[in-house]
Amino acid sequence: MTTQTFVDPWDTAEQAKEPQFSNIIWGQCEAKSWWCVLEKGIGKVEYDPQVHSPDQQRTAVDIIVHPLADMGLAFDVTRNMIAESYEWAGIVLPSIRDLGISPKQLNGSWVKVQTVTLTDKAGNAITYTDKNGTVKEKSTLKFLAIFKDEAECSSDYLANSGKTTKQDTQYSAQYSGGNGNKERETALKFLKVYVENACRGETSLEVIRNKLMTLIASQPLISKYFTVDSPEVVEMIAKEMSK
- Domain residues of the chain, as ranges? 24-161, 174-241
pLDDT at res. 167: 42
* Strand runs labelled E in 22-181: 24-39, 43-46, 58-67, 77-82, 110-117, 127-129, 135-137, 139-147
Predicted local confidence at residue 165, as pLDDT: 52
The CB-based long-range contact list for 77-83 (8 Å cut-off, 24+ gap) reads 77/25, 77/27, 77/113, 77/115, 77/141, 77/205, 79/140, 79/141, 80/44, 81/140, 82/36, 82/38, 82/44, 82/58, 83/33, 83/58, 83/59
pLDDT value for 98: 97
What does the pLDDT read at residue 242? 77
Determine the pLDDT at residue 217.
85
Rounded to a whole number of angstroms, the CA Rg of the chain reads: 21
Q: What is the pLDDT along the chain (243 residues), one digit of tens a residue?
A: 445 555 566 776 767 655 444 689 999 999 999 999 998 888 889 999 999 999 999 999 999 998 898 887 767 888 999 999 999 999 999 999 999 999 999 999 999 999 999 999 999 999 988 888 888 889 999 999 999 999 999 999 999 886 655 443 443 333 434 444 677 887 888 888 888 888 887 888 988 998 898 888 888 888 888 888 888 888 888 888 877
What is the predicted pLDDT for the residue at 181? 65
pTM score: 0.60
